[in-house]
Amino acid sequence: MAMTGVLRPGHAQLRVLNLEDGVRHYRDIMGLTEMTRDAQGRVYLKCREEVDHHSIILREADSAGLDFIGFKVLDEATLERLERDLQAYGVETSRLPAGEMLETGTRVRFKVPSGHQFELYAQKTQVGNGCGTLNPTPWNPAATHGMAPLRFDHALLYGPNLAEVHKLFVEVLGFNLVERVLNPEGTANLIVFLSCSIKSHDIAFAEYPEPGKLHHCSFLMESWEDVLRAGDIMSMHKVPVDIGPTRHGVTRGRTIYAWDPSGNRFETFKEDRQPYPDQEPLTWSFEALGEGGGLDYIQRKLHETFLTVLT
């Protein structure tokens, strides 16, 4: 497919309760590379297959959670067009100057009806993945420590006004509805999985009364064996595990959910479905999220923590 608008998730800024504990988790245990730190005290990290300078930013704070998620767009003209489209739709936007986030160009920030902050940007310094661009190696041994995820893949966010958020992402930002879970009454969507590519989802939202909540940030693994290896590493370092190893029925992803030292949930995830935009969205009933294996296909169980533990 021709990608001409929003290209992909680019970064997420997470709040952690202790910065060095957070860095040890994401750098030493998960295996991201620490790139730099800025004058605000933020720490910038990247995954091994990402060519951009960073994808995860850590900030020490009194409460854990998500500050914002950024999406990369095609170019500056696309950034300006989407800024105008958001404003015409009634969404208030603001601009952050180039350099406010290191190695990153101008960012257009806006809040969606679920209470989450998003931003769009067109420029970020490309540092490569260590494999080269002429006669490249298939992988970079220097970047394969820890769990060694390939990239920051997606996030699941909880908040109110799901129908409005869904409409904004589809009608203004050009995302596609790939999959959905209905509420217990079967009258509306409870969770929507939205894609700006052919991934099973680039962002997902769940209806929840409190605004601005983070369910998890997900990191793509190269194989199911790498997901299982990540589970071994979690056990070695006593990382608290929430769910898995298992397969989702919804999105067909193979997964482990766990928590970082601040209580932010993260996922090690193997993509197993690549729907094109012309394909009909898949629908799950609320009952099937549990007994039908939508969440945990192996145990066919709806884990209470999945619905209630958030930052």
Cite the active site residues: 154, 201, 216, 248, 257, 267
176-192 exposure pattern, b = at least 16 Cβ within 10 A, e = fewer: bbbbbbbeeeeeebbbb
Contact yes or no for 13/258 (Cβ under 8 A): no
Q: List the Cα angle 178/274/116 in 5-degree steps.
A: 45
The closest of 222, 233, 213, 201 to 29, measured between CA atoms, is 233
